Amino acid sequence: MEQQELNELMRDSAENARISTQNEFGIELDGSVSSIAKVDDVLLSFLDKYQDNALEDQAVFTLCNIYGAYLGEVFKQTVGGQWRYDTSDPQAPYVLLEYNGRTFAFAGICYERLVNDSTVSVRAYFDQAVSNSTQ
């Protein structure tokens, strides 16, 4: 995947997160750092609203990727960075945000909160990523 295509895909995915959040819950994600805390609540709201359907493979994939893209786009606007399509495992390629020699798995932290542990905080991960990148 070309860099320009990847950048466009991630911008579009972040916009899908914004629109979905507004349509589903009436919550505005405005692209600010403070809006990241809302993502924590929104992910769990999908579980409350759709119960087991929210944990179907396709739904999990979609939710984690669009909200991961949203987190990454806010990070890019705040700190900087570049999307990277990692194909080191051809069977399971994934997208990371890379900045200053570090990579951040924003979709992965969304997966953790949604599927594995609802106490994991997307906002705390984001804040730590910013802190690590600005030291």
> Alpha helix locations (H) across 51-105?
57-78
Enumerate domains of the chain plus CATH numbers.
3-133 (1.20.120.1090)
> Model confidence over 60-91: pLDDT tens digits?
889 999 999 999 999 999 999 999 998 888 88
Provide the sign of the torsion angle of the four alpha carbons 110, 116, 121, 127, taken in this order.
negative
Q: Two tokens at 30?
A: 């405005």
Rounded distance between C-alpha atoms, residue 64 and residue 79, angstroms:
21
Apex CA 74: angle with CA 3 and CA 129, to 5°?
95
> Model confidence over 13-71: pLDDT tens digits?
999 999 999 999 999 999 999 999 999 999 999 888 887 676 687 888 899 999 999 99
- For residue 91, what pLDDT is reported? 86
Provide the sign of the torsion angle of the four alpha carbons 68, 82, 33, 26, taken in this order.
negative
